[in-house]
Amino acid sequence: MKKIISFFAVLTAAALFAAPDEVKLSSFGPGKDDATAAFEAAFASGAKKIIVDDPGFDYIVRPLFVPSDTEIVFLDKVVVRAKKDEFKGTNDSLFRIRGQKNVILRGEGTVLLEMNKADYQDKTRYRPAEWRHGIAISGGENVIVKNLTVRSSGGDGIYVSNNKADCPRDILIENVICENHHRQGISVTCAENLIVRSSRFNETSGTPPACGIDFEPNEARDRLVNILMEDCEFSRNAMSGIFFHLIQLNKEKSLPVSITIRNCRFDGNRRGLGANIGTVSGEITFDGCSFTESGGESVYFKNAFGNLKFTVRNSLFQDKIGKIEIETDAPRDTGNIFFENVKLITGAAAPVTLDCPEGYGLVNCHFGLLFGEALSSLKEFDSQALMEKYAPNPEQRKSITFVTVEPKKLKAATQSSKDGLGNMNIRGKFRFIQAVPAAGTYPIRFTFRRLGRRDLKGSISVRDQNDTLVDRKEKIIPVNDQYVYELKTNGAGVYIFEVNFGDHCVQLHADHPGQGILADKALPLIWGCNKLYFVVPAEAEEVKAEVAGSSGGEWIHAYLRDSSQRIVDKAVECYNAPRILTVKRTPTEKDEIWTLELHAEEDHRVRLGAPCLPIFYAAPENILIKRDER
């Protein structure tokens, strides 16, 4: 009898304490200064539906983590606001759904979720970051976000990504406004069965990519499968309205991409549509879209190697620079791009351009365009003539190889130096080589010009001639835009420095003989006119130097001059696709000093090919020679 009574007592207790189906947030006593505890208590109640009712004040919260099997309904006029001076973690988001299932965030009426973007951009108050999102969906499945305005995050309005190996599946984003975010309106790095409908992603600015939407997988195992965006707007974003950065995916290890963009509007962005595709397979289709008032080119394709089919149909482009720009910096053909029944408003005589390495071109493409300066005066674009103009020509293809630099076999050619390396404006990671004649301390001064928004800080690594790491300094913060590194040595030798101060401009000043910049990898330079000297071995029968400008129409003129300063090859108006300057020569009795003269608008890069040692010098007096030479 006692056992029966106990059994009924347990059932009664379970009934009394069962999780309610629905609760109101106000019943958990949200504080006016901080309502985080009320949200957390509502989540912990186990209720399937949480009604976020209007208490007459804004809900001020710290980061919130939404559990599985939860529907959050925000009633009309509710405002949820990120608490000031919180969100100090670089990944702190307003609402995070991490690996959860069956989650709904929806509004009824006018609902605002707002963060404090301007505060997060203040480096005196917050550690710089781009991941303080409004709503972060990491992994999980069956998630719905609808009828909300998400504003002013320190990252993306909405971020959709994997959670380790867990790809988010079955996601619906509908009737959502994402505006004034720091990095993107919405980022999608991994998703399967994603629908984004009737939403707006506007006015992104702060840090690159700064797009309305950016599809950007982080690794090959990420996927972008069965994705639909329809009836959406992407306006006034600092960069592209929409961008596909797919180079982390590949044909061998990644699932084919499948994305459809239907009946969407792109207005007033810096660029309407951009894509860096790479080798991944699959299909991306635009249908019934309009692109208007873009500040730059209408469409930009990079590295479309032909495994993925990219189609734009039944669409309008009416932008300030009505052009379709296609480029690749790799020695491969571009292909599988199709435009069907597309109107392109442009004053350009050549509305479609290709910039690619010599001998490569367009394959399996069609540009079904009507183009002209006004809708009333459109004419048919000659796609066949374009394909003939840019047909691949294998006979014109050039390749370049590089000599391995062995520091222990080198020494300074003279006992004096001239001008140091101060005439080179270097931007990005680079390596330079420095010989020393004896034990001692050798100061090397770096001066900087700040570029972009990021802090000026960087690292310097030093290796001796046996490739042994002898010093590494990280998080260097220059004072008054200068930094002096003191190289301390125990004897004569040659040292390799690896320097990285991000996108800032660096100049070197070292008054020691035997110094140069390594150029077996792309040497990133910026601005102006440079004369780079290099040594041509006496036995060389050919000289090769590779030059390239930069994306965005940044050109370079390059002139290769022999030892008599005669121009022997040149590349005029070279953009992002590399050009290989090539000269045949008759071997000579002695090594010669040649010059690569560069005139550049802004960013450019160079490499020096075999049989020359890939080192550029600021002056002939600074060269390095083999130790057995006199």
Q: What is the pLDDT of residues 342-365, one digit of tens each?
A: 999 998 888 999 999 999 999 999
Q: What is the pLDDT of residues 518-576, one digit of tens each?
A: 999 999 999 877 899 999 999 999 999 999 998 777 899 999 999 999 999 999 989 98
Identify the pLDDT of residue 321.
84
CATH number of the domain located at residue range(s) 27-201 in this protein: 2.160.20.10
Identify the pLDDT of residue 15.
37
- Alpha-carbon gap, residue 390 to 334, rounded angstroms: 10
- Alpha-carbon gap, residue 446 to 432, rounded angstroms: 12
Q: What is the pLDDT of residues 79-103, one digit of tens each?
A: 999 999 999 999 999 999 999 999 9
Bridge-based pairing of strands 366-372 and 265-267 is: unpaired
Q: Is the pLDDT of residue 265 over 60?
A: yes
Nearest to 323 by CA among 288, 356, 347, 306: 347
Contact 315, 335 (CB under 8 A): no
Q: Name the residue with higher pLDDT: 165 or 244.
A: 244
Amino acid 160 reads V
Identify the pLDDT of residue 554.
87
Identify the pLDDT of residue 543.
97
Q: Is the pLDDT of residue 316 over 50?
A: yes
Bridge-based pairing of strands 200-202 and 233-235 is: parallel
Q: What is the pLDDT of residues 179-208, one digit of tens each?
A: 999 999 999 999 999 999 999 999 999 999
Contact 183, 156 (CB under 8 A): yes
Identify the pLDDT of residue 510.
86
Q: Which helix (H) or strand (E) holds 555?
A: none
Strands (DSSP E) along 108-183, which ranges?
112-114, 135-138, 141-151, 156-161, 169-179
Identify the pLDDT of residue 418.
72
Using pLDDT thresholds of 50, 70 and 90, give the confidence band for residue 17: very low
Three-class SS of residue 474?
strand
DSSP string, 396-439: G------PPP-GGGEEESSS--SSTEEEEEEESSEEEEEEESSS
Q: Is the pLDDT of residue 422 over 80?
A: no
- Alpha-carbon gap, residue 226 to 217, rounded angstroms: 15
List the chain domain ranges: 27-201, 208-217+225-397, 407-626
Residue 195 vs residues 169, 260, 276, 328: alpha-carbon distances, Å: 10, 10, 22, 31
Q: Is the pLDDT of residue 2 over 90?
A: no
Q: Which helix (H) or strand (E) holds 14?
A: helix 2-16
Amino acid 519 reads A
Using pLDDT thresholds of 50, 70 and 90, give the confidence band for residue 337: very high
Identify the pLDDT of residue 14.
37
Nearest to 418 by CA among 627, 209, 620: 620
Contact 175, 74 (CB under 8 A): no
Neighbours of 509 (CB within 10 A): 15
Contact 257, 279 (CB under 8 A): no
Q: What is the pLDDT of residues 213-234, one digit of tens each?
A: 999 999 999 999 999 999 999 9
Q: What is the pLDDT of residues 29-42, one digit of tens each?
A: 999 999 999 999 99
Contact 77, 110 (CB under 8 A): yes
Nearest to 226 by CA among 201, 258, 252: 258
Q: Is the pLDDT of residue 7 over 80?
A: no
Q: What number of CA atoms fall less than 13 Å from residue 159's CA on the CB side?
A: 29
Identify the pLDDT of residue 36.
98
Who contacts 372 (Cβ-Cβ below 8 Å, separation ≥6)? 345, 346, 378, 379
Q: Is the pLDDT of residue 630 over 80?
A: no
Nearest to 294 by CA among 322, 261, 325: 322
Using pLDDT thresholds of 50, 70 and 90, give the confidence band for residue 164: confident
Identify the pLDDT of residue 419.
64
The arithmetic mean of pLDDT across residues 276-303, rounded, is 95
